[in-house]
Amino acid sequence: MQRPYSQVIDRLKQVGLRPTRQRMALAKLLFDAGDHHFSAEQLHNQASGAGIRVSLATVYNTLHQFTKAGILREIIVSSGRSYFDTNTSDHHHFFFEDSHRLLDIDAKDITITKLPKLPEGTLLERVDVVIRVSDNPKS
Amino acid sequence: MQRPYSQVIDRLKQVGLRPTRQRMALAKLLFDAGDHHFSAEQLHNQASGAGIRVSLATVYNTLHQFTKAGILREIIVSSGRSYFDTNTSDHHHFFFEDSHRLLDIDAKDITITKLPKLPEGTLLERVDVVIRVSDNPKS
DNA sequence: CAATAGTTTAGAATATTTCTAAACAACGTT
DNA sequence: AACGTTGTTTAGAAATATTCTAAACTATTG
């Protein structure tokens, strides 16, 4: 590990973000760990635990910047809390309504053969499929 | 309109909810107006405008009770704000990211021919498809 | 019409996210 | 390596949305 930060520095520069101390630290936490889902609060806690001093406001700023830059994706499955996903490839999600967990579904495991035409004057941003499941038998 | 409330009274009783003044008034606003999408705040404003005195807490309670009873559906497309839909039939949504508007998509206009198998020990609650569009050309 | 069980309420509390403006840090130029 | 510019970070306040609390109220049953 002679140059442990060179990769994240390059990645940040590629998307036009200054490689600041906080952004590098957060990027390293996020992208060294493989695909996963997390909330802003969770990342903030994880950073604190790893000895990285960063404010929650910066965590939010950074997550939004990363999302806009396309190196992170926001997943909306629950009102009142945002989740993010380090997997930015084309895929979908299971959402466990009881435990609030997310599980990736590979794009090839869902096939949509028919989609409606878009409303006039709009551009397609994304088609999100969320399969909501419960952990417990229903009453 | 000799008995304008008899229908909502019956409907509430059918789903095991007492037909109280507030629930009847809100149900009437919601179900006499045809399919539409709204937030808790919007319904509260609409009720106030119609001379119905009801607290925001009751609006939230009522929306959750109606949702649990299956006569209303919650749509999650945006973190930080919940939307509800008086259309409880099988269908999907367009979401206009700029204007935060929703538009129904009939179930027959989306065909999914392949779905992954559910994770062990889970029950399917719902498959939600959200087609996110922007109103404006992207930069 | 009294008892009781369920409902409504205002306001406080909670949770999450965004804002503000001052301090700070990165980076190209000297 | 210091400078200036511009972009970034920060703590704390503010904004937003939702849920909680416990007291008052109301629908329903007997």
Quick one: DSSP state of residue A119? P
| pLDDT, position A44 | 97
Using alpha carbons, select from A131, A80, A64, A38 the residue that is nearest to residue B83. A80
In a 10 Å sphere around its CB, with 0-12 CB exposed, 13-18 middle and 19+ buried, how is residue B82 labelled? Answer: buried
CB of B80 within 7 Å of some strand C atom: yes
The full set of domains in chain B, from first to last, is 6-75 (1.10.10.10), 89-133 (no CATH)
Using alpha carbons, select from B134, B109, B3 the residue that is nearest to residue A119. B134
Q: How far, in Å, CA of A39 to CA of A81, rounded?
A: 7
139 residues of chain B, pLDDT tens digit each: 445 788 899 999 999 999 999 999 999 999 999 999 999 999 999 999 999 999 999 999 999 999 999 999 999 999 899 999 999 999 999 999 989 999 999 999 999 999 999 999 999 999 999 999 998 664 4
Q: In what order do the strands lie in the sheet with B83-85?
A: B37-38, B83-85, B73-75
- In Å, how far is A48's CA from the nearest CA of chain B? 25
Q: State whether A134 and B111 contact (CB < 8 Å).
A: no
> Which residue has its C-alpha nearest to nucleotide D21's C1'?
B57
The neighbour count for residue B98, using CB atoms within 10 Å, is 10
Residue A117: partners with Cβ closer than 8 Å, 6 or more residues away: none
- In Å, how far is B16's CA from the nearest CA of chain A? 15
In degrees rounded to 5, what are phi and psi of residue A127?
-110, 115
Q: State whether A115 and B109 contact (CB < 8 Å).
A: yes
Q: State whether A127 and B127 contact (CB < 8 Å).
A: no
Does this model's pTM top 0.75? My answer is: yes
Identify whether the C-beta of residue A43 lies closer than 8 Å to the C-beta of residue A59.
yes
CB of B62 within 7 Å of some strand C atom: yes
Below-70 pLDDT ranges, chain A = 1-3, 136-139
Identify whether the C-beta of residue A8 lies closer than 8 Å to the C-beta of residue A19.
yes
Identify whether the C-beta of residue B14 lies closer than 8 Å to the C-beta of residue B27.
no
Q: State whether B76 and A77 contact (CB < 8 Å).
A: yes
The neighbour count for residue A11, using CB atoms within 10 Å, is 17
| Residue of chain A minimizing CA distance to B81 | A79
